[in-house]
A and B are shown apart, each in its own frame.
Chain A
């Protein structure tokens, strides 16, 4: 089973790295908002995977709180973004 855990962690790390690359190079602020939303979802998935692997329940409330308040980040960015921020 240990090889499967290593594969899971490598896949999560690769996904996080690609998402951070999109946050860095994203041409508009909306791309960065989407990518940071995906990164937050990735954090939730990693917390859940760690609970599965280590067989504990300590991070369940963190999962609930992130699911509840994580949406406000991208909503705030999308609400207050300036019009045509990417026109040279």
Chain B
């Protein structure tokens, strides 16, 4: 087995792992209970799955131009996935679509009851 065939096989296995991450996220979206837990499931393929797929593309095509395209894709995704997750999670907290009893710590409510400026 030469190097090219080995790299192609590795790329396909990486794509398979990324696809399985997408499937895990979809199952988590269906099975989990409220918005923050579903958000927890949803952010797995957004970062790790896409990084695996981009690694697979680079291994399969084997040229530096492709790598130069893929690095910004991964960096932009790393920068924007927490942004949207933060916005959705904050809105879910304000919206009341979370299971309040499942929270272990609720620092946002404590900080609302005693604002930092009040010296509490």
| A residues apposed to B, CB below 8 Å | 1, 4-5, 7-8, 11-12, 14-19, 21-22, 27-28, 30-31, 33-35, 37-38, 41-42, 44-45, 48-49, 51-53, 55, 57, 60-61, 63-64, 67-68, 70-71, 74-75, 77-79, 81, 83-87
Contact = CB atoms under 8 A, between A and B. Distances in A.
B46 A38 contact: yes
5 contacts: A14-B23, A41-B46, A45-B49, A55-B61, A63-B69
A44 B92 contact: no
A71 B83 contact: yes
B60 A45 contact: no
B23 A15 contact: yes
Contacts, number: 172
| 8 closest cross-chain pairs (CB), A and B | A18-B26, A71-B80, A48-B53, A78-B87, A11-B19, A15-B26, A15-B22, A74-B84
Chain B contact-residue range equals 35 or more
Contacts of B39: 34
Contact of A38 (B42, B66, B80, B92): B42
Interface string B27-47: 101100001001100100110
Chain A interface SS verdict (over half): helix
B88 A33 contact: yes
Contacts of A33: 88
B60 A52 contact: yes
Contacts of A30: 35, 88, 91-92, 95, 97
Contact of B96 (A31, A34, A70, A84): A84
